[in-house]
Amino acid sequence: MSDLILHHYAGSPFSEKVRLILGFKGIPWRSVIVPNMLPKPDVMALTGGYRRTPFMQIGADVYCDTALMCRVIDALKPEPPSYPMATSGIADVVAQWADTTLFWTAVPFTLQPAGAPHVLKDATPEMLKAFGADRAAMNPNMRRATVTDGAAALHTYLARLEHMLHDGQPFLLGALPSIADFSAAQSIWFIRLAPPVAALLEAYPKVCAWYERVNAFGQGSFTKMTSAEAIAIAAQGAHAPLSFSAEPGLAQGDDVTVTPTDYAHDPVAGRLVGLSRQEVVIARTDERAGTVHVHFPRIAFQIKKPQPA
């Protein structure tokens, strides 16, 4: 049985990125389905306030943000690599672009009036309204593109992907799949959920063929678990070993908050127990989950100490 628990929901593009990587790696996993909007009490028990989807749990360690989760998965099973040496560096740069710029173009564009009912298939009008309000509150400062502007940007980005594949290479950066492919594929996957919107992909045959290749990795083998079972595993679970490399103003044991800087600015409070240039880890105690180590990447997260009164 696998120790890796993915907390996700079916319609989440970032979850699809991780599911595809788990398929590519051939790592069996446990699946916990989380709500697609607040409230999420069982998520909060494990993450301490981080609300975004997906997150990953191994014992009493919780990993937030797919950029970090994918690195952890690669360290668990290095072969086949998600970060091949030949494209090291550029693969992360393309993945970061796909996780931000491409994602925030593809998702609002797909959720235009012609697309939303296909993506949120079984949602009642009340649920659609609640979902819209939840996302508006999660990202209050975002100026969403009009459908016309979104279409122009998306065509430009798809043309760039098509150019990357122009010489017949199977994956975006060459012969081998990399994190860049999985990050970009999540947006194509989301667009394809809405057939009236997905028609625009037909102008990009190389992108379509590439997506089929990435999609063929599948989602690996998984078994279902309830959130209550996952919380019980955290309460009994061991913690992964930690390393700490002090930085100016940050010492082991400090009380801190860690907060995403891009959207869903919910601070998670805890004791600083792990630190490196790539990762910050805080320990926090929940009455049901016990003491959980919550891991975040450094990029797009802010570590803050409470201000003295």
Which three-class secondary structure state does DSSP give residue 89? coil
Judged by CB under 6 A, does residue 227 bind ligand GSH? no
Burial (CB count <10 Å: 0-12, 13-18, 19+), residue 91: buried
Q: Which two tokens stand for residue 46?
A: 């494990």
Give whichever of 21 and 161 is closer to ligand GSH, judged by the CB atom: 21
* Cα–Cα distance, 50 to 58 (Å, whole number): 17
Is residue 44 within 8 A of residue 64, CB to CB? The reply is no
- Work out how close the CB of 156 gets to ligand GSH at its nearest, in angstroms, rounded to a whole number: 22
Per CB under 6 A, the segment of 7-15, 111-119, 121-129, 250-258 that binds ligand GSH is 7-15
Judged by CB under 6 A, does residue 25 bind ligand GSH? no
List 31, 36, 47, 57, residue binding ligand GSH (CB under 6 A): 36
- Give the distance, in angstroms, between the CA of residue 104 and the centroid of all CA atoms in the same chain: 13
Q: Beta partners for 6?
A: 31, 56
Give whichever of 41 and 253 is closer to ligand GSH, judged by the CB atom: 41
* Cα–Cα distance, 155 to 201 (Å, whole number): 9
Give whichever of 267 and 290 is closer to ligand GSH, judged by the CB atom: 267
Judged by CB under 6 A, does residue 259 bind ligand GSH? no
* Cα–Cα distance, 116 to 84 (Å, whole number): 36
Judged by CB under 6 A, does residue 53 bind ligand GSH? yes
Report the site for ligand GSH in 80-109 (rule: CB under 6 A).
99
Judged by CB under 6 A, does residue 14 bind ligand GSH? yes
Is residue 247 within 8 A of residue 275, CB to CB? The reply is yes
- Work out how close the CB of 282 gets to ligand GSH at its nearest, in angstroms, rounded to a whole number: 17
Q: Is the peptide bond before 81 cis (omega within 30 degrees of 0)?
A: no
Q: Please tell me the count of residues contacting ligand GSH according to CB under 6 A.
A: 13
List 25, 30, 51, 284, residue binding ligand GSH (CB under 6 A): 51
List 4, 7, 12, 102, residue binding ligand GSH (CB under 6 A): 12
Judged by CB under 6 A, does residue 31 bind ligand GSH? no
Dmax of the chain from CA atoms? 62
List 47, 66, 87, 105, residue binding ligand GSH (CB under 6 A): 66
Cα angle vertex 39, ends 263, 233, to 5°? 95
Residues that bind ligand GSH (CB under 6 A): 12-14, 36-37, 51-53, 65-67, 99, 138
